[in-house]
Structures are given as structure tokens and as C-alpha cells.
Structure 1
Amino acid sequence: MGSSGRVTLNDVAAASGVSRATVSFVLNDDPHQTISAATRDRVKQAARELGYVPHGVARALREGSSRVVVLNIDAGMEGKYSRSYVQGLDSELAAHDHVLLVRHGHHTPQSTQQVLDAIAPRAVIRFGETYLTGHELDDLGGGWRDGLAAHSALQLRHLVEHGHTRIALALPDTESPLAAARLKFTGHAALNLGIPVPDSFVTPLDRVACAEAIDALLTTAPEVTAIAGFNDDVALRVLRAAGDVGRRVPDEVAVIGFDDNGYGAYTTPELTTVNVDAETHGRLSARLALGLDTGSLRPPPARVVARQSV
């Protein structure tokens, strides 16, 4: 243990038999480091048993934490949902005399530690954490009630209700932290609906490449009659590419988006999508971060915005 009596990263490293850097990566949940589950569990157990507290948090306990809550949003997770979530989080924190600091993009353990040391925030929230860590059923909606799982199922159910049983899931061409969760939830929803699990494919940002991807999908899998977009950005690519290769929407292939970014109302045909109001999700996160009763706060159900593409 450190000479000051405070448990340090070095103490946790010695107890778990790994390097100090590995401990830092594990405790800061760095997504860009490949560390085995066994090692992660060993480090976290050692930290718990030793009572390790990050330096910034320890100082906050001594001096009283600041009235700042930090929200980390990973690259590729921005959208309408995140914006409404931030709005709710910010409003609820302000109502309790706290300030929100939003950090976008990649966050290294070092940069995170600098934030902790500089402002000793009241709490640090990682946007979508339950879905990124495999604990999606721990959220207030259980994932399947008013979380991402329920929203994914709603998207698929709308297509099934319109007679589509062979569906493909269109993914972005850039890495998204939520891609694995969406694939899993879509697969579960398909099984519950009694249809084949949708295959997935990538939609390149380049227009010609995207058209080639759509043409290849519909040529090699002619049984596919509908495409579900990872988000509206992806669905709009699919809509455009389908037209480029002479596929009529929705007569030959239906297309549905997700997260209703607003642009779908200006396309031909107009894009059907799933709208999720996340403001209440943000308010719930704020109250949980501050240790307050969530009371009667319940997120409104997601809804399908029916337009012309399905």
C-alpha cells in the first residue's frame, strides 16, 4: 500500500499480478484494449478487496465532490436519441443545481483520469453503458421494456406486420459500439416473431459502393423483401442505393430506418422509421447519478413513424 495509506494502482497491480497499465485499462474500461475476461475479473476483484478509489474520487470524498456530472459519448453513438438523452440529463441535473459536461469521441484512461483529478465530478456516466458491457438487462427498462432491445423489436415487428419475413439488417461502414447489441437484439426479436434471423451487411458511405452492396444483397438473396437500417443515416443510404440499381421501394424492397433524424420526411419515397424520445432516459440517469428517487419517471414507448418506404 502507498506510503500515504491510500490504495494505489500499483497496489492493485501487485495484488492481481498484472502491470499498472493493465489495471488502468481495466478500471477505466478502455474499449481499445484487448484484455481477457479472466484478467478483468481478477483486477476488479483485487480493486474491490483492497478498497481502491481513483485519486480524483478520493479527493472528492475528502473535500466534497464538485457539482459536475461527466457524460462520455463514444464515437459513432451520436444521433437524435443521444441528443434528446443529453437534453433530459442536462435539464434534470440543472434542476438539482448540477452542471453537465459532455465528452465526445475516444477517451483514453489518461484523459479520463485528468478529468477526475481536475474537477472531481459527482459522477461519470458512459452513454449506453449497459449495452456496451453486456449488462443490458440491468437498465430500468430491462432492455426489453423501453430500452434498445424493445426498440429493435419494434422495428422488426413493423416489417413483419406488413408481410415481410425475410429481412436484412443494414449496418454502417464505420465501427459502432452498439452494432453487436443491435445484432443480438434483432436476432432475439426475429426468433420471438417466428421469422429467420436477419443477415447483416455493411452499407459503404460511397454512393457507388453502397449501390453495389445493395445489388449484391438482393441478387444473392432474392428472398429478402425488406431492409432494416441500423439508423436513419444508413437507411437513407439504402433508399438512395436501391433507386440507383433500379429497385422500387417499397414495391420490390421495403426500407425502415431507426432514430428518426428528421431527414426521412424529405426523401422520395419518405422513409418510415422508429422514433425514440430519450429525454426521460436522460432524466432517469441524472437521478440515479445523484442518488435520488426515480419516482414515477417512466420513458414513453418508442413509436413507428409510418411513411412511404414500407
Structure 2
Amino acid sequence: MPGQRTTATDVAKAAGVSRATVSFVLNATPGQSISDAVRARVLAEASRLGYMPHPQARALASGQSNIVLMVLPEWPIEYVTRQLLDEATVELDEAGYSLVTMDPRRSRRATPLWESLRPDVVMSIDPLAPKVLESIERSGAVVIKHGPEMLPMYRVGPDLQVGHLLNLGHTSIAYAHTPIAAMRDLDQERMSRIRRGAEAAGAAFRSAEVSATNAQEVVRTWSRAGVTAVAAFNDDTAAWTIGGALRSGLRVPDDLAVLGHDDSPIAAMFVPAISTIHLDLAGLGRALAQQALAVARGGAQPDIGDPFSHARLIRRESA
């Protein structure tokens, strides 16, 4: 019937054998005297009936689910995050593991996936709240706790941004905040790095939220205040800023230099092409997957080093 799951008992009835025999055949249990003919009949009926082992039962039987659960920050799944997840997924898939992602803050009613899926490993980019961490550990999953090695994600890009603008001779720098509320913590961290770098060099500093609707107004205000360079939260924010400048009659980069972050596809396609910061998020995704595999297989949590050591400035037309 539609929606009715085929069970091992169904396979046993169709093949004319016991439920235990089906279990031995499907799990390739060693030391069993089962004839080749019976084995072939069980496998044929299982295939005909579309039998798939229940994941929780299989996990209980083997002690492993071959699932790695990644708890995501409350960020939009955009180009940068997809890079990380895509590479981690490929790396885990090649080893026979599945990557599942979740954000535990979006719903407090659903059963957490670490309880329903029983993953072998749970990992997170951001530190987990104590209550979340306690709940995961009670489920029996191994938790990979990330510490100082993830901090460069918050500082290396802004440091490259402000350093480049200062090297170009700019003495009045602004920061373009993202309007996306879910990115507020990361946005504030990047802004503080830009401000610290600018003020340490004696440059004036301003900041404002920039969106598709207010970019022109914000850029005009900055221009009147003498701002000549903008470090943007990401490439989308940089594109809005450039659009606001061009519509205000400003030349980019002659009147206003704009530097993005993330090296997303829009940066190269935009006119003028957006100078930006490239982070090796694909490499980080592979490193996180390798870390999860080592832990899932009973090994020690390996040091992934500085995952952002390959961050670099991409020079294009806007700065």
C-alpha cells in the first residue's frame, strides 16, 4: 500500500524463510550456513519488494548510522555556505557517510535531529549553546567542538579589506552593513575589525546599513562626509553600494573605492567588477569532513590548522 514500509518480515514471507534468515542474508552475517540458492532468493525478493533497512534499526544493530550532522549558524544558505557544505558532502560521501544539516534555533517544537537520526558525529562552525551541547551528548553522538582555529573566519577578511584600502591611501573609510538580520553577529564582528584597523591608522571611520532601497541615500551621505572608500560585508552589499554611487554620479573607484567579501559569482560579473576577499571555504569543508571521519572511526580529533591561511585579496575594478 502507498506509504506502507516493506519490512524484513514481508521479505521472509515472500521468500518462504524465517525472519532470522532474512536478517542474516541482508546483513551478511558471517558464520551462517545458508545456501547460495536461499541467499539469492532472499535478495531477489528484497529487491522486488523494494525493501530498505530502517535507518534507526540499522544504527542500533551496527552501532553506527554513518551520518554526520552539522549544526549551522542561523545564516542564509548562500554561495559561501554552499561551497563549504558541497565539499564536505563529497568528502563524506566518498567514505560512505551522509552529511545532514540543521539549525536548532529555527524551531523549538520538532525533535532535534541528533535524537531522531542518531548521528555518529555532530559538529558546528559556531560554538554550541550549553543546553544544545548537553542534549547532543545525551544522545550518544560524539561532538566536535571547534575553538580558536575557527576564529580567523571572523578576522582575516576584514583585516585584508582595511589593509588594502589603507595601502591605496584612503583616509576616510566606511563599512557597509548587511540588512540581513540573521547575519548580525558576523556583521558586527567584521565591522569592528574594519573600524579598529582604520582608527589605528588614523583614518576616519563611518558605518551604515546598505540595501537595494537605501544605497543611493547612504552613499550620498558618505560622500558629503568625505568618505572615499567602502569595505562591504559581502559582495551583494558591495554591489548595492556601487549601484548607489553610480546613480549618484560618482565614479568607481576614482571617487569611491568599494571592496567586497566572499568572492561570490556576482563579484566577477558585476560592472565594474568587484574587488573582494576570497576565502578557501571549499578547503575548510574538506577539512571538517576529514575531521568528522577520523572521530567517527574512533580516532582522535585531528588539528585542521588555520583553515583560512589561503585567504587572499582579489583585485578587480572597484578598488
Query: Aligned match of 2:115 in 94, 114, 117?
Result: 117
Structure 1 residues 138-287: aligned runs within 5 Å: 138-140=147-149, 143-144=151-152, 147-175=153-181, 176-177=183-184, 178-190=186-198, 194-196=201-203, 198-206=205-213, 209-219=214-224, 221-222=225-226, 224-287=227-290
* SS of residue matched to 1:228: strand
Tell me whether 61-70 or 230-239 shows the greater mean CA deviation.
Answer: 61-70
Cα separation, 1, equivalents of 2:107 and 2:82? 23
> What residue in structure 2 maps to residue 27 of structure 1?
none
Which blocks of at least 5 consecutive residues in structure 2 are unaligned?
1-58, 131-144
Give the number of equivalent residue pairs: 240
Task: Quote how far apart the aligned CAs of 1:101 are.
Answer: 1.3
Deviation at 1:204, TM superposition (A): 2.2
1:131-173 CA distance string (max 9 Å, x none): 999xx993326x34xx331121011111111111321110112
Asked whether the equivalents of residues 170 and 203 of structure 2 are also in contact (C-alpha less than 8 Å), the reply is: no
How big is each residue's C-alpha offset from its partner over 1:185-205, in whole Å with a ceiling of 9 and x where there is no partner?
3334435x5244732200123
| TM-score normalized with structure 2 length | 0.65
Larger Rg: 2
How far did 1:105 drift?
9.2
Structure 1: distance between partners of 2:228 and 2:271: 19
Counterpart amino acid of 1:184? S
Judge conservation of contact 1:71–1:102 (CA < 8 Å) in 2.
Answer: yes
Deviation beyond 4 Å, 4+ runs, structure 1: 60-63, 130-133, 295-298
Q: Deviations over 1:274-295 (max 9, x none)?
A: 1112122122222333425537
Work out the CA distance in 2 between the residues paired with 1:237 and 1:105: 31
Unaligned regions of 5+ residues in structure 1, if any? 1-59
Change (3 A) 1:295 1:275: same
Identity of aligned residues (%): 26
Among 294, 300, 311, the residue aligned to 1:302: 311
Q: Give the equivalent residue in structure 2 for 1:83.
A: 82
Report the aligned-residue RMSD: 3.2
CA gap of 1:130–1:303, structure 2 versus 1, over 3 A, is farther
8 Å contact from structure 2 (residues 173, 198) kept in 1? no
Q: Distance in 1 between matches of 2:277 and 2:62?
A: 46
**Cα shift at 1:93:** 2.0
Q: Indicate the residue corresponding to 1:92 in structure 2.
A: 91
